[in-house]
Structure 1
Amino acid sequence: MMKKLIIFFIVMGLMSCGDGFLDIKPSSSTVVPTTLDDFEQLMNYGNLVYAYPDMLDVLADDYYLEETYWLSRPTLIKNSYIWANDIYETIESDLANWERSYSQIFYSNVVLEGLEKITVTDGNKKQHNQVHGTALFLRAWALYNLAQLYAPAYNKPTANKDPGVPIPLLSDVNEKVQRNSVEEVYARLLNDLKDAAPLVQSEVDFGRPSQAAVYALWARVLLAMGNYEEALIKSTSSINAHDGLVDLNTGSLDYKKTLYMGLDGNGPFIHSNNQNIQIKSDLVITFELSDLRQSFFKLNTNGNTYYISPYKLGNYFFRGLDSDEQYLIKAECEVRLGDKDQAIATLNHLLKHVHSSYVDKVAGTKEEALSIILQERRKQLIFRGLRWSDLKRYNRDGANITLTRTLGEKTYTLSPNSPKWLFPIPVNEIKSSGIPQNLRK
């Protein structure tokens, strides 16, 4: 069995290079997994199932680079940092973002199809359900992340026309695909999460999805859609299923205590202990003296601030699901739905866990409360891969946020309505599948 899986992993690794991922033509003699144990091992293959697109942090505005360091970066990073017209230049593929996410979908489809051939018995039902739920969860995870990069923010009036991303639903790589609409992408991933929720285990394990993790991702998706009523229900459900909020006065953050692991394991550009990834001063100064999260910031040799991972992941930043995000979703939804006082109470509960001496925040108006909550969301979730999606939804709702980068004497600008909020699809995918590209001008 292990030999079978090793062969499968090797084949998958070879598939990720060269032609577009959606245009893979594997040999008919390829040995693939067939047993429930095989499928479980596939869904426990950490480098795949935990993968998270690094570009969701690269494009965002919480950090800056000095010009000399920027010049030394690889082409894809250098161009993405300034939201260039031509991101790829002569590069044709993008393993860390497009291909890895579609690998997650391909593996999920392999498992989902394979499970249909395995009879469910009293003896294997628990394992079968968990593997089934994990595959659905992983496909939803990948589709959501792809949508944040390559599609516009979900906007109900136009979602059925806005270009989303392809949704392969078969393990047959000859399946003809197209760019589904944003509406279709979100409908599919929401349906996958709905189906996954009763299948996965109730016990929380960072290495595999639980009910609390499914509800957490569900809440994240619904918040991005602007569906605050349902996002409030799902975030509350996640907290009720497992409240893993860590009190920094008595404990420490640890990826093993989270709801679900997520990280960029493909040689990340933005990683902990990189003193050249400097945090913007307007963000740093928002942390109060009693804020224990200040210990995550360090000064480099030039006296500028950088950020270190608080989740015991070495050079990697945690980009998965955790209870702190659920409290922030809950608070934001409560205030947007008109319950200002409950929203501030929810936020204060979270902040008591990150301050050594805390005085409750108060807000006189709904607008003031929302401003406080969104500021705390940015502070709590730095380098968690969420800021880019947040900026897109804020601008969808009329925030008119413009991003700027300054390198030497030159300033680069990303205006609120720029098409550059959509990341370009890799060139090899456009060539092989013929799907339309995201325009940059």
Structure 2
Amino acid sequence: MKKYILGLITITGLLATSCRKYVEVDPLSNSRIIKYTTDYQDLLNNTSVFEYSYLYPLYSSDDAGIDNATLQNSMLPQQYLTYQWADTRLGITDIDVDWERLYKQIYTCNLVTDGVMSSTGGTAVQKTAALAVAKVHRAYAYLTLVNLYAAPYNPATAATDLGLPLLTTSSLYTSLKRASVQDVYAQIIKDLTEALPDLPDLPVYNSDPSKAAAYALLAEASLYKRDFASAGSYADKVLALKNTLTDLNTYAAAPSTLPKKLADPETIFSKLVSGNSYSSITLSSDLLTLLGTSDLRYTLFTGNANPATYGKIYYRQNYTNEGVYIGPNVPEMMLIKAESAARAGDVSAAVNELNTLRKKRFKPADYVDLTATNAADALTLVINERRRELFGRGFRWFDMRRLNQDAAFAKTYTHTFKGTAYTLEPYSNRYTYAIGTYYITLNPEIVQNPR
């Protein structure tokens, strides 16, 4: 089957899944065959495809505390089943927007990696640059998917744990059998390391891949793999290229002047939450207590729901109306560096990194340095600071998954919905989302996750 595009940007014949039955659609009459290097560049420049990421981790983390009865009654089944950590969140014909959006990104990247090097009209530098960009986008999509639909990385079992259908070609006849978790991570790391030589240090627009973005994704992948030394090393490489922090004191009196996405000095690789239902996800009392009212992240980034009696919501997006930013950024890299140091027993390095960040998050009169007497204390400080800095954006779900392997952090979580308490026990299979029955019915070679 030939590959086509519409208007040089929109892929036709693709309904946003990895499934063969959803890509083989006759091209429209006003489309044309992808031929020129600029065609492939235009595919990659489509931010409506590439900039949006996940939604459902916002419901499943303990940052969410949707306690109001009216809000609960307004939730759709996929939302409240995710909030309840149900065995399955989807009916037999329901689509999964997170699965579809990310596999659409992968398919688009595969069109580029398959064809750009033999395309017409571009220089060798332009072609290799487009190839590198596609590999970074593909790595991001797989890193997100493997942390939604596959077991948390366990070095002892990753070689046999079910990962994902690992598609690296746009061929409609590639096997959809699930590769192992280990193989998925190997592909992510391969894509990123191969892309690095042909990327700029920093992008013109922060929605574009760069060396800083590739190193940031390598830092995240290493963190999820529990390769903490590599995670810290990659975070250092990022911070050598970009280390600017926003001083929240500057915006305390005028939060509406907070920088927009493209001007945000902290953003390394811009990604956004998919959808806008986050406006009704109220924050848990546990999170709000951890933040504390003197923290400028509480003052600026929490706000009243509408009406206020519903509770507090994550509020940062209301100042810029651009959605919730969830891509890698400078504070996250500092926190990865601090965690790497704490796990290596370097207490002072870990705490110093935290304090450098926290000084930009409190008014001077309210700021007090953190201190730790040992590595365990330092690690607890890091994990708590990750939650404060990254709250309301889904990062906490990924942390809950990986921290199950640390006895100090494995715990039972509870969400209450319409008077019933739903619990998530340590090591539960429900830390991994079920793959939609819809996709398995169409493609039986995709094996469901253990429930």
TM-score, structure 1 as length reference? 0.91
Q: Does 1:376 align with 2:376?
A: no
Q: Does 1:416 align with 2:420?
A: no
Identify the range of structure 1 (389-398 vs 335-344) with the bigger mean alpha-carbon deviation. Answer: 389-398
Report deviation, 1:199: 1.2
One of 415, 427, 432 as aligned partner of 2:437: 427
Match of 2:118 in 1: 117
SS at match of 1:431: helix
Match of 2:140 in 1: 141
SS at match of 1:180: strand
SS at match of 1:116: helix
Q: Write the letter of the residue equivalent to 1:174.
A: Y
Match of 2:255 in 1: none
Long gaps (5+) in structure 1:
none
Q: Does 1:298 align with 2:298?
A: no
Match of 2:89 in 1: 87
Distance of aligned partners of 1:312 and 1:127 in 2 relative to their CA distance in 1, 3 Å threshold: farther
Distance 1:431 1:103 in 2: 19
Report deviation, 1:422: 1.3
SS at match of 1:286: helix
Distance 2:215 2:6 in 1: 31
Distance of aligned partners of 1:361 and 1:192 in 2 relative to their CA distance in 1, 3 Å threshold: same
Q: Write the letter of the residue equivalent to 1:354.
A: R
Distance 1:218 1:407 in 2: 37
One of 350, 354, 368 as aligned partner of 2:357: 350
Match of 1:218 in 2: 218
Q: Does 1:26 align with 2:25?
A: yes
Q: Is the 2:65–2:285 contact (alpha carbons within 8 Å) kept by the matching residues of 1?
A: no
One of 344, 349, 357 as aligned partner of 1:337: 344
Q: Write the letter of the residue equivalent to 2:432.
A: L
Q: Does 1:285 align with 2:289?
A: yes
Match of 2:74 in 1: 72
Report deviation, 1:53: 1.3
Distance 1:125 1:20 in 2: 33
4+ long deviations beyond 6 Å: none
Report deviation, 1:120: 9.6
Distance 1:432 1:416 in 2: 33
Distance of aligned partners of 1:213 and 1:299 in 2 relative to their CA distance in 1, 3 Å threshold: same
Report deviation, 1:339: 0.5
Report deviation, 1:196: 1.3
Q: Write the letter of the residue equivalent to 1:129.
A: T
Q: Does 1:246 align with 2:255?
A: no
Distance 1:362 1:315 in 2: 37
Distance 2:242 2:124 in 1: 24
Distance 1:371 1:140 in 2: 30
Q: Is the 2:261–2:322 contact (alpha carbons within 8 Å) kept by the matching residues of 1?
A: no
Tell me the percent identity.
29
Report deviation, 1:208: 0.3
Q: Write the letter of the residue equivalent to 1:379.
A: R
Report deviation, 1:81: 1.3
Distance of aligned partners of 1:306 and 1:31 in 2 relative to their CA distance in 1, 3 Å threshold: same
SS at match of 1:285: helix
Q: Write the letter of the residue equivalent to 2:237.
A: S
One of 316, 319, 325 as aligned partner of 1:309: 316
Distance of aligned partners of 1:334 and 1:305 in 2 relative to their CA distance in 1, 3 Å threshold: same
Report deviation, 1:90: 4.0
Distance 1:233 1:10 in 2: 38
Q: Write the letter of the residue equivalent to 2:206.
A: F
Long gaps (5+) in structure 2:
252-257
Match of 2:60 in 1: 59
Report deviation, 1:407: 2.1
Distance 2:310 2:9 in 1: 49
After superposition, residues 249-264 of structure 1 pair within 5 angstroms as 249-250=249-250, 252-256=258-262, 257=264, 258-264=267-273
Identify the range of structure 1 (133-142 vs 352-361) with the bigger mean alpha-carbon deviation. Answer: 352-361
Report deviation, 1:226: 0.5
Distance 1:171 1:323 in 2: 34
Q: State the Cα deviation string for residues 255-287 of structure 1 (Å, max 9, x = none).
A: 22211111134x3321xxx2x421112211223
Q: Is the 1:23–1:173 contact (alpha carbons within 8 Å) kept by the matching residues of 2?
A: no
Identify the range of structure 1 (25-34 vs 102-111) with the bigger mean alpha-carbon deviation. Answer: 25-34
SS at match of 1:249: helix
Q: State the Cα deviation string for residues 184-226 of structure 1 (Å, max 9, x = none).
A: 0000001101111111112333120111111111101111111
Q: Is the 1:24–1:174 contact (alpha carbons within 8 Å) kept by the matching residues of 2?
A: no
Q: Is the 1:143–1:189 contact (alpha carbons within 8 Å) kept by the matching residues of 2?
A: yes
Report deviation, 1:366: 1.1
Q: Is the 1:61–1:403 contact (alpha carbons within 8 Å) kept by the matching residues of 2?
A: yes
Q: State the Cα deviation string for residues 233-273 of structure 1 (Å, max 9, x = none).
A: 100000101113212223645322211111134x3321xxx
One of 274, 277, 284 as aligned partner of 1:269: 277
After superposition, residues 136-215 of structure 1 pair within 5 angstroms as 136-204=135-203, 205-215=205-215
Distance of aligned partners of 1:22 and 1:417 in 2 relative to their CA distance in 1, 3 Å threshold: farther
Q: Write the letter of the residue equivalent to 1:180.
A: A
Distance of aligned partners of 1:286 and 1:86 in 2 relative to their CA distance in 1, 3 Å threshold: closer
Q: State the Cα deviation string for residues 296-328 of structure 1 (Å, max 9, x = none).
A: 112342172222125854161111111110000
Q: State the Cα deviation string for residues 146-202 of structure 1 (Å, max 9, x = none).
A: 101110111111100000011111111222221000000000001101111111112
Report deviation, 1:75: 1.9
Q: Is the 1:311–1:318 contact (alpha carbons within 8 Å) kept by the matching residues of 2?
A: no
SS at match of 1:363: coil
Q: Is the 2:37–2:120 contact (alpha carbons within 8 Å) kept by the matching residues of 1?
A: no
Distance of aligned partners of 1:303 and 1:85 in 2 relative to their CA distance in 1, 3 Å threshold: closer
Distance 2:168 2:440 in 1: 19
Q: Write the letter of the residue equivalent to 2:377.
A: E
Match of 1:364 in 2: 373
Match of 1:11 in 2: 12
SS at match of 1:412: strand
SS at match of 1:411: strand
Distance 1:157 1:344 in 2: 30
CA RMSD of aligned residues (A): 2.3
Report deviation, 1:27: 3.2
Distance 2:293 2:225 in 1: 35
